[in-house]
Structure formats: C-alpha cells, structure tokens
Amino acid sequence: MENLFSPGKIGSLEVKNRIFMAPLTRSRATADGVPSEYAKQYYAQRASAGLIITEATQISAQGKGYVDTPGIYTADQVRAWAEVTAAVHQAGGKIFIQLWHVGRISHISLLPEGHQPVAPSAIRAKAQTFTAEGLVDVSEPRELRVEEIQAIVVDYKHAAQQAKVAGFDGVEIHAANGYLIDQFIRDRTNQRTDLYGGTVENRARFLLEVFDAVAKVWDPGRIGLRFAPTISFNDIEDSNPRVTFGTIFRALGKRRAAYLHVCEGALGMAESSPEDREVLEHLRGEWDGFYIANGGHHLESAQQYLHSGRAQAISFGRAFLANPDLPARLQAGAGLNDPDESTFYGGDQRGYTDYPTMR
Ligand SMILES: Cc1cc2nc3c(=O)[nH]c(=O)nc-3n(C[C@H](O)[C@H](O)[C@H](O)COP(=O)(O)O)c2cc1C
C-alpha cells in the first residue's frame, strides 16, 4: 500500500517520499528576473520534499505578469538557477522548474516598453496583479496572431533547454490558474475561429504543441503538467470541463507525460463544491499515470488519498512555505508553523528563509 513516506518513481525519477512542495511565487527576484541570492538557501532548506516544484518562472519577457518573479531565458537567470539546483542536489533533493507565460494576466508596466499583454482573444480579465506600484487591474490584452503563437512555442522550447543547462531534474508546464495555456484551453477566454480555437481539439492545440516542443529537449517522463480544471481564479471558466480536460488528459497519457499535478481546491482557500468534486473524480479516471493532488491537504487527508490510490503524491503549498522540514514534521505527528501572509510576496529573508525547523 502506498504511503506518504514511501519512496516512489515517476518514470525514471526516484522520489524519496510523496510529500511534494507545490509551486509558490515569492516575488523576491530582481527586476531582470534573476532569482535572489537567498533562493538557494530557501529551496535547499526544503530538499526533504520528494520533489520540489519551483515558483512559476517566465519563459520570456512577454510571459511576465507580476513584479519580481524569476525567468529562465537569460544567461544571468540560468546561472542563478544553477546555484539553486546545485544546492538542492547537494542537500539530497530533486527539483523541477515550473514554466510560465501569464498571457493576459499582466500589466503594461511589467512588459517591455510599449507592449500590451497577449492572449488567445482580446478579452480583458476582471483580475488584478502586483506591480511596482502595488495591486492594479490587469491591462487590456491583444489577440495573438498565429505566427506569434508559434513563436511562443519556440520560447517554451528555449526555456526548457535553459532549464536543462541550469541542472533541473525536469520541468512542469504551468497550464493552471488562468494563465496563457489555460486561456487557450477554456472556451470563455478563447473565442478564436482559427486552428487554435473552437473545438476542444483546437483549444488543446497550443498546449500540445508546447508539450511536443519541450519533449524535443526533455524525455516525456521528465515533463509534468499542472491543471486547475474547476478553479475560476483569474476570471476563467469552461462550459464543459469534463470533456475539455478529459480530452487533454487522454492526449497527455498517449504522450506518456511524467505526471499531472491538479489543483483540486480553490487555491486551498475554500472547499470545492460537490459538482466540482464530481468533475475531478471523473477526470481522475481519464489519466492512469502518476497523479499529484493539491489543495488544502493535511496529514490525514493526504494519507487517505495515497492509500486509496486517488493520488500517488500530494503537494503542499502554504504548509511547505512555513515548514522547511515538513516531511519530518508530518512523520513525527508534530505541530506546524503558521504561514505569515504578509511576507508571501516580496521583501527579504523574513518569512522566506527564517521559518524554524522542529526542535
Ligand atoms: C504564496 C503563494 C504563491 C503561489 N504561487 C504559485 C505558482 O507560482 N504557481 C502555481 O501553480 N501555483 C501557485 N500557488 C498555488 C499553490 O501552488 C497551491 O495550489 C495552493 O497554495 C493550494 O495548496 P495548499 O493548500 O497546500 O497551500 C501559490 C499559492 C500561494 C499561497
């Protein structure tokens, strides 16, 4: 019987337990997207996770949507990430990088001068983002031309190559939470009438092209994907998530992707509805590979998911943020530090590298 503390395998990758660190944006990189000098300490402190998935990391300048998030497309960024992966490996951990393009969830002040955010369709999100000036409404996006979509696929491939140079163990394609790939997948944000819009197959095309481009660099067994089929964060929605995501999960099964990482709760902030649970149960049946469940888990719920085969691993976001030694604490049945929301995004080492381990 699988258990949170038993080792496992994702394709060729061995993981020492099923307690994974969920991706967590911390907004402590430089304005040029270079991870801060404390990032290596922060991630190495959490190397007892079976797998660390980094904070979302933009694949290009155009893919940025929040102040001080890191990138993986310039030499300086790659050098800094290489120090992070070395520190994590030295501490006995494994680490994937989450590849991100925000699409319409951005603000002109965060993009190269004069550029507007881009999206499958020119529909502005009722959403906000963090800029140097604080929280603001996202800017009006413009619709991508087909040749621009293809150029973004190339940017993903480039970022995947840079991730390899930086020494990551694999990559996670961020297809969740209302960012560019999710904007293509779901029908309220994608109103295109060309090959990238309309039918489910067309709405899945961009994601699958990204996957296939990244698979030219990484073995499919080292490419995971993150989805949030029932989450409406960033003003997103689909009229038929069962069919839309079911089709996508099956296509990724054929491609032998490393894992699916599914945000099952409303970013952990609220319980999902019975209808959402039903959709998630249905979708679970559409994928028979390694499944990582996320959202509001604690020791008991996580063990129950593992024992029943509902998931092969659980990722913890806020609990890992506040507890660098989370696996040891869960195994000892120890109490957990509470996360301090005021230091989630931006700032210095406080609330970043100074959470205490168990005594
Ligand atoms: C501070 C913070 C930053 C986050 N950043 C990301 C991110 O970069 N990428 C992503 O896919 N999810 C991100 N999330 C969502 C988490 O990965 C996770 O889905 C959510 O916190 C629910 O899991 P939990 O209940 O274990 O915290 C973030 C959440 C928080 C609280």
DSSP 71: B
Tokens read off for 341? 């929301």
Task: State the distance from the centre of ligand 1 to the C-alpha of 194, rounded, in angstroms.
Answer: 33
Q: Which of 59, 173, 263 to mutate to test the pocket of ligand 1 (most atoms within 8 A of CB)?
A: 263
User: Ligand 1, atom 4: nearest CA belongs to which residue?
Assistant: 24
**Per-residue pLDDT averaged across 317-331, rounded?**
98
Q: Which of 18, 21, 24, 72 to mutate to test the pocket of ligand 1 (most atoms within 8 A of CB)?
A: 24
Q: Does residue 245 register a pLDDT over 80? A: yes
**Residues near 274 by Cβ (< 8 Å), separated by ≥ 6?**
none
Q: Is 24 in the pocket of ligand 1 (CB under 6 A)?
A: yes
- Are 132 and 91 in contact by the 8 Å Cβ rule? The answer is no
pLDDT score, position 271: 65
Task: State the distance from the centre of ligand 1 to the C-alpha of 267, rounded, in angstroms.
Answer: 6
pLDDT score, position 301: 93
Which CATH superfamily hosts domain 8-97+146-343?
Aldolase class I (3.20.20.70)
User: Ligand 1, atom 23: nearest CA belongs to which residue?
Assistant: 295
Task: State the distance from the centre of ligand 1 to the C-alpha of 333, rounded, in angstroms.
Answer: 23
Residue 266's pLDDT band (cuts 50, 70, 90): low
pLDDT tens for 174-207 read: 999 999 999 999 999 999 999 999 999 999 999 9
User: Ligand 1, atom 31: nearest CA belongs to which residue?
Assistant: 318
| Element spanning 347, H or E | none
Mind giving me the DSSP string for 143-157?
A: EPPHHHHHHHHHHHH
Q: Is 343 in the pocket of ligand 1 (CB under 6 A)?
A: no
Task: State the distance from the centre of ligand 1 to the C-alpha of 114, rounded, in angstroms.
Answer: 30
pLDDT tens for 45-94 read: 999 999 999 999 999 999 999 999 999 999 999 999 999 999 999 999 99
Q: Report d(CA 302, CA 304) in Å as an integer.
A: 5
Q: What angle do CA 143, 147, 151 make, to 5 degrees?
A: 100
Q: Is 276 in the pocket of ligand 1 (CB under 6 A)?
A: no
- Of 212-226, 270-284, 345-359, least confident by mean pLDDT is 270-284
Residue 12's pLDDT band (cuts 50, 70, 90): confident
Task: State the distance from the centre of ligand 1 to the C-alpha of 225, rounded, in angstroms.
Answer: 15
What's the first-to-final CA gap in the chain, in angstroms? 31
Q: Does residue 268 register a pLDDT over 70? A: no
What share of the chain in percent tops pLDDT 70? 98
Q: Is 176 in the pocket of ligand 1 (CB under 6 A)?
A: yes
Task: State the distance from the centre of ligand 1 to the C-alpha of 264, rounded, in angstroms.
Answer: 12
What are the extents of the domains in the chain?
8-97+146-343
Q: Does residue 102 register a pLDDT over 80? A: yes
Ligand 1 atom closest to Cα of residue 321: 1
pLDDT score, position 114: 83
pLDDT score, position 117: 98
> So which residues are the catalytic ones?
179
pLDDT tens for 108-156 read: 999 999 899 999 999 999 999 999 999 999 999 999 999 999 999 999 9
> Tokens 């507890």 map to which residue?
323
Q: Does residue 2 register a pLDDT over 90? A: no
Cβ atoms < 10 Å from Cβ of 54: 29
Ligand 1 atom closest to Cα of residue 315: 26
Cβ atoms < 10 Å from Cβ of 243: 12
Q: Is 141 in the pocket of ligand 1 (CB under 6 A)?
A: no
Q: Is 295 in the pocket of ligand 1 (CB under 6 A)?
A: yes
